[in-house]
Amino acid sequence: MTTDYTPRLFAGDDDIRAIGTGLLARTLPREAWTHEAHLGACLWLLSERTDIDIDAEIATIISRYNESVGGVNDDTQGYHDSITRAYVAGVRLFLSETAETGLSARVNAMLRSDVGRRDWPLRFYSRELLFSVPARRGFVEPDLMPLPKPLGAGG
């Protein structure tokens, strides 16, 4: 796993909403698109933008954002489908278990939790599979253990 790090926490709800709206509008500065921003935007999308079908749209949202800031989505860089979908599963699990109600309180608690760790997907995937081209370009099922599902979720 990776070295421990201290996550950059959010001061308030408006900071998270600004990241989410900037992602959707493709106006978020590239340097603001951090690990914490990815997870904060995901939690915001899942909890406050229920009009967006995350499972159907997340790849397009992030890929188009990446391109808007000069990034490339190819076999070695940019959007990574399996990592993204692993974190979406983790954020859903976290939301189903947390007692926190405020947006920044939930995001900050998640960033401090196991789900917020940069190496969290490696609990489910071998490094070789997770960082493979097929895993980047499309979702591949984990090879170590299934991704968690919130209680009551089907499948």
pLDDT value of position 1? 47
Tell me the percentage of the chain whose pLDDT exceeds 90.
Answer: 92
132 falls in which pLDDT band (50, 70, 90)?
A: very high
Residue 57 domain flag? yes
Residue 147 domain flag? no
Alpha-carbon separation of residue 93 from 12, 120, 130, 131 (angstroms): 22, 13, 20, 23
150 falls in which pLDDT band (50, 70, 90)?
A: confident
pLDDT digits (tens, 9 = 90+) for 66-81: 999 999 999 999 999 9
Which among 127, 118, 107, 95 is positioned nearest to 10, based on CA atoms? 107
pLDDT value of position 85? 98
Sign of CA dihedral 26, 103, 116, 9: positive
Residue 117 domain flag? yes
137, amino acid identity:
R
Domains in the chain, number:
1
Residue 4 domain flag? no
88 touches 42 (CB < 8 A)? yes
Exposure on the CB side of residue 139, measured as CA atoms within 13 A: 13
Residue 108 domain flag? yes
Residue 69 domain flag? yes
Residue 149 domain flag? no
- Tokens describing residue 96: 């189903």
pLDDT value of position 151? 72
Range of the domain at 89: 13-137
* Angle made by CA atoms 125, 104, 130, in degrees to the nearest 5: 10
Q: What is the mean pLDDT of residues 88-106?
A: 96
Per-residue pLDDT at 88 exceeds 80: yes
Residue 35 domain flag? yes
Per-residue pLDDT at 154 exceeds 80: no
